[in-house]
Structure 1
């Protein structure tokens, strides 16, 4: 039976010979595979950012997700089931769960501290002690996080007539989930823990379509309805009783200077009792939306708004044409012109 040297064949030839029942020359196949592997492995030696090889010098993404899941059980013990610990006593189960999360979070913080210049080049035991302190400080914040989340649940219930119960909100609403992960991440951000806060909120972003930077400051009774396409930038300041609807962006006015703007106030301040309807965009570090204001759907705001102001886009005029009054060609021409104007 004929043997194929696959290195000398294109795809069409290979398919034709396979149909003829020819055998592949294993020796030539090995040569091809070895050549490809050598080329790929050689690509790692170019010293670029993408060529980093030591995965153990950075937090484990899978473990971070597990930490989020267990923290959600701690925040909402009556809503998230824990299957690993077999005990009828809820407090015993929660105590074991808290200790487990503390252990894993401490280890991830220890690795994350490698990205803090203060700990660059320090001994492992130094980072371990610092991570332990940070972890303890973090868990002291859990009651305050739960207090804020309780107000968020109330805001969802008060603001959404489609909600049948608060249980439904906790179990089913992606907006509340995104806010919960944000509040967990923000507490770590306030402790200056590198990397982990952003990994947490970006996980929620992938899961829900809601992008809240952990650096944002958000007050109580925060409500996101139809949670998708929401963007809240890192230096945003949002007050109490604020409502956001789908597609809202609270962002930077200009990022042309890129990373040079890091650490500056680039995002708006949204004061108490403000509502931003679907598709609204508010941009700029100097932009303040005053208390009690309403920003209408699809509004594009780059300047401050006085308290108790309503901002809307003037509604386009709707034109209804009876079929018999214009020719088909006239109607198509007007439609083309309208689409062109847009």
Structure 2
């Protein structure tokens, strides 16, 4: 009796303080099934989008893993846990590249199969296609590495803030976005659905630099700082071009049905060799050509072509200075 007497008041005080005891009366689990039925009816009526299908869609996580694996191959020794030296480099690259082949062919198969079903196409021999595409892609990696080396050299030549290629490879967002773009562009050229865009949007999310995988970009690209750079699908950029933050290479105002009318048409500008485009400049239109060696100043809006060697600058704005009155 003495024990019960002691426990009783303690239990009563806990009941008064602890809201958990009363939680069952506040539970709303019974309301959830009605919401589920509404969701199902939306998908069945095709009002919303879903991917309820026996055909697998490529894995977003796997595609990102592939991007990181390709970076390890293109820049051996930079992003690896294994110490690389002359005696193990061939083994390491061979293992990474063989593993890449397996992962990439699987994801490309799913991408082709999904695209085939989505468009109601007859059998496209997706596995046979994917193995050939993957081999073609891997065979292109040496040339991709060579072009990226020219991008690094352009960065070293154009940026007085560094003289260290390691710093550029490890930390420059411009090079990361350019690397992923060059990888994605190879897949885009090989007609791989969806995967190239997953790759470049991953780069966009990390760096703030948005490059469509369909753009054509020559060697020696240097994107300085980079935040807010946008390069559209049909943009053509020549060799040794330098672009600063906030630059848009875009399309002119588009109609509501532009998706169908203007698909596969050139909508974005052409930037010829050795052009410099300074910060926050916008260049629009598929017929707009910036001639080789031109310099386009900051905060410019261009919708027409400029000749070779042109300098386009804003007139110096009128600045107003004000100072607080000095009291004696």
TM-score interval, normalised by the smaller of the two chains: 0.7 to 0.9
CA–CA separation in structure 1 for the residues paired with 2:321 and 2:159: 34
Q: CA RMSD in A?
A: 2.6
Aligned counterpart, 1:258 = 258
Q: How far has the Cα of 1:38 moved from its partner?
A: 3.5
> Runs of 5+ in structure 1 lacking a partner?
1-16, 326-342
Query: Aligned pair in 2 of structure 1 residues 23, 147: CA closer, same or farther (>3 Å)?
Result: closer
Counterpart in 1 of 2:138?
Answer: 139
**Aligned pair 1:273/2:301, yes or no?**
no
- TM (norm. structure 1) is 0.82
Q: Report the equivalent of 2:14.
A: none
Contact 2:282/2:301 (8 A) holds in 1: yes
In the alignment, what sits opposite 2:292?
291
Counterparts of 1:170-249 in structure 2, within 5 Å, are 170-249=169-248
Question: 1:74 — aligned with what?
Answer: 73
CA gap of 1:162–1:119, structure 2 versus 1, over 3 A, is farther
Give the distance between the partners of 1:302 and 1:23, measured in 2 at CA: 63
Partner of residue 50, structure 1: 49
Corresponding residue SS for 1:50? coil
Q: CA deviation at 1:51?
A: 3.0
- Segments of 4+ in structure 1 off by > 4 A? 17-21, 116-119
Q: Is the 8 A contact 1:271 1:290 kept in 2?
A: yes
Q: Name the structure 1 match of 2:11.
A: none
Moved more, 112-121 or 251-260: 112-121
**Against the structure 1 CA distance between its residues 21 and 101, is the aligned structure 2 distance closer, same or farther, given a 3 Å change threshold?**
closer
Say whether the 8 Å CA contact 1:281–1:299 is kept in structure 2: yes
The question of 1:60 aligning with 2:45 is answered no
Aligned positions of 1:17-56 closer than 5 A:
22=22, 24-25=24-25, 29-54=28-53, 56=55
Provide TM-score, normalisation by structure 2: 0.86
Alpha carbons of structure 1 residues 159 and 34: separation in structure 2 relative to 1, 3 Å: same
Q: 1:120: which partner in 2? A: 121
Q: Residue 141 of structure 1: SS of its match in structure 2?
A: helix
Q: Measure how far apart 1:89 and its partner are.
A: 1.4
- Is the Cα–Cα contact under 8 Å of residues 73 and 82 in structure 1 kept in the other structure? no
Distance 1:321 1:63 in 2: 57
- 1:312 and 2:309 are equivalent in the alignment: no
Q: Distance in 2 between matches of 1:184 and 1:55?
A: 29
- Partner SS for 2:46: coil
The answer for the alignment partner of 1:3 in structure 2 is none
Take 1:82 and 1:103, find their aligned partners in 2: how far apart are those partners? 21
- Displacement, 1:74? 0.6
**Equivalent residues of 2:227, 2:245 under 8 A apart:** yes
Residues paired across the two proteins, number = 305
Alignment deviations for residues 224-244 of structure 1 (CA, whole Å, 9 cap, x no partner): 001110000100000001000
